Structure 1
Amino acid sequence: MTDLTSYQAQHFLWKVEGKLGFITLNRPEKKNPLTFESYAELRDLFRALVYDKTVKVIVVSGAGGNFCSGGDVHEIIGPLTKLDMPGLIEFTRMTGDLVKAMRACPQPIVAAVEGICAGAGAIIAMASDLRYASEESKTAFLFTRVGLAGADMGACAILPRIIGQGRASELLYTGRSMAAKEGFDWGFYNSLTAAGGALEKASSVAADLAAGPTFAHAMTKKMLHQEWAMGVDEAIEAEAQAQAICMKTQDFHRAYHAFVAKQKPVFEGN
């Protein structure tokens, strides 16, 4: 997977347009559920994006008016009931590796959520950097509804940091759907659109990010992730080092010279 511009995904749609990479979950007849194979391929794609210099921002969406209904009942949940413990832990670690790959991927990930966003689909939205949803969307961390813990793929660590401990606890215990307006009010979604408008909004934001200082964006993403486990003093020192590194980039110099010339800087990501 060295040339991601021409990469042909097997279990979802992938295309590169300019500086943007688009992932489309594409099983609309079932509301885009995930399979063992699509989990693994998504993980591998995000891992490969670490080494890609063309794609600056990733947009994730679903086909047919829905984002993702979670793990396929017949292709994942049914087979899981027959696995032994080593097989089960292999699966749960693999799904967690998808979230790890998304967080380690230097490109900002923008989720465009329409319709149903449930289970592992809600996790993919949660693990993205920015989330835009239509007013009709419904998001559910529904693991308890299939007899599992709400502690899945990092939900107990990441979701409280986005919407707060109490709100996350309610969603993870009950498995109920979070309405789009509720998700926006709680900070899960960055903004809402009319039905059918989430992808256009997410793509517009992604294009703006891709036109910015992408090395610096990658640094911001890394620090947002790493500082979860830091004290304030350690975080301030880490940011001092990160910012000093960014000051050695050409984009920093381009911005200065553009300001002096009263022009808008044109960033190139180096």
Structure 2
Amino acid sequence: MIAYDVEDGIGFVRLDRPQARNAMNKDMGAALLEVATTIADDDSLRAVLITGNGPVFSVGGDIGAFADGVADLPDTLTRMALLMHDAIRILVRIDAPIVTAVHGACAGGALGLLYPADITLAAAGTKFATGFGRIGITADSGNTWYLPKFIGIRRAAEMLFEDRVIDADTAADWGLINRVVPAEHLRTEAEAVVRKLAAGATRSYGEMRRLLHNSWTTTVDQALSEETAALRRIARTADAPAAIDSFLGKQSPTFTGK
């Protein structure tokens, strides 16, 4: 249900339930959490790429699984949400930068895999939607916290309350994704981005990831203090002084992630 491979310091995560349009059930949520935990425990990773197999990235939660558990719907929904939420928490906190590449459709809880990403690419023609109101449930996977911060609270309300479906160009214009690429070039472009990041300043990226995510909940005084502490930590790494020497010598730095 979730395929995971490591190559050249890059973790490749692929939603792999194409027969169900990568709809997320309890087993898929458990698999995603297991992969996220594996990623967090691997200090050798330099970057992560998240993709989906089949015609779409993911249609979100498996409504059939909701129906199967309707007799105990509160526990069914809670179990599924907790798995996804724990996976998101872990992915947000890792040092390695994350690239997510989506195609076809990205809906409901699957939007949660955009939020830990530092760079998100979408194939032209991809559709984005929430869809929670259509089945009478509330949003999960960070949609009520991240979505308004990415696109603004008015637009988030429009997607959540009016079930508005937006295309890839609108998603880029609103700030939900970084950019749109031709569908046939999505994988090539995504791999180029993730490989560039994997060759970059991993420890620096990790510090900046934390600072960016914390920026939504910290004061400016806290942010400035955290930046100072991060600079001090980075100054103790092997990469920072070596890169500074390379810059002064007008050479391209080689980062080791140490």
Say whether residues 1:234 and 2:245 are aligned partners. no
1:123 and 2:112 correspond: yes
2-structure distance, mates of 1:81, 1:125? 28
Match of 2:159 in 1: 171
Q: Residue 257 of structure 1 aligns to a residue in which SS?
A: helix
The one of 24, 27, 37 equivalent to 1:34 is 24
**Aligned ranges 1:73-88 → 2 under 5 Å:** 73-74=63-64, 76-83=65-72, 85-86=74-75, 88=77
Instruction: Name the SS of the counterpart of 1:228 in structure 2.
Output: coil
TM-score (normalised: structure 2):
0.94
CA–CA separation in structure 1 for the residues paired with 2:37 and 2:93: 8
- Identity of paired residues, percent? 30
Contact 1:162 1:187 in 2 (8 A): yes
Say which SS state the counterpart of residue 252 (structure 1) adopts. Answer: helix
Q: In structure 2, what is the Cα distance between the partners aligned to 1:245 and 1:267?
A: 16
Q: CA deviation at 1:90?
A: 3.5
Separation in 2, partners of 1:80, 1:176: 27
Decide which of 45, 49, 62 is 1:72's aligned counterpart. 62
SS of the equivalent of 2:72 reads coil
User: What is the CA–CA distance in structure 1 between the aligned matches of 2:79 and 2:102, rounded to whole Å?
Assistant: 29
Alignment partners' CA distance in 1, 2:117 and 2:163: 20
- 1:200 counterpart (175, 188, 213): 188
Aligned partner (choices 233, 244, 254) of residue 266 of structure 1: 254
Q: Distance in 1 between matches of 2:76 and 2:61?
A: 16
Q: Where do 5+ consecutive residues of structure 2 fail to align?
A: none
Displacement after TM superposition at 1:48 (Å): 2.5
Residue pair 1:61, 1:112 contacting (<8 A) in 2 also: yes
Unaligned residue ranges in structure 1 (runs of 5+):
1-10
Matches within 5 A, 1:71-150: 71-74=61-64, 76-83=65-72, 85-86=74-75, 88-149=77-138
**What TM-score, normalized to structure 1?**
0.90
Which segment drifts farther, 108-117 or 80-89? 80-89
RMSD: 1.6
Out of 131-140 and 95-104, give the one that drifted further. 95-104
Opposite residue 210 of structure 2, the aligned amino acid is K
Q: Which amino acid aligns with 1:45?
A: V
Q: Deviations over 1:118-163 (max 9, x none)?
A: 11222212332221001110011111111112x3122111111111
Distance in 2 (alpha carbons) for counterparts of 1:222 and 1:127: 11
Conserved 8 A contact 2:47-2:198: yes
Amino acid at match of 2:105: I
SS of the equivalent of 1:21 reads strand
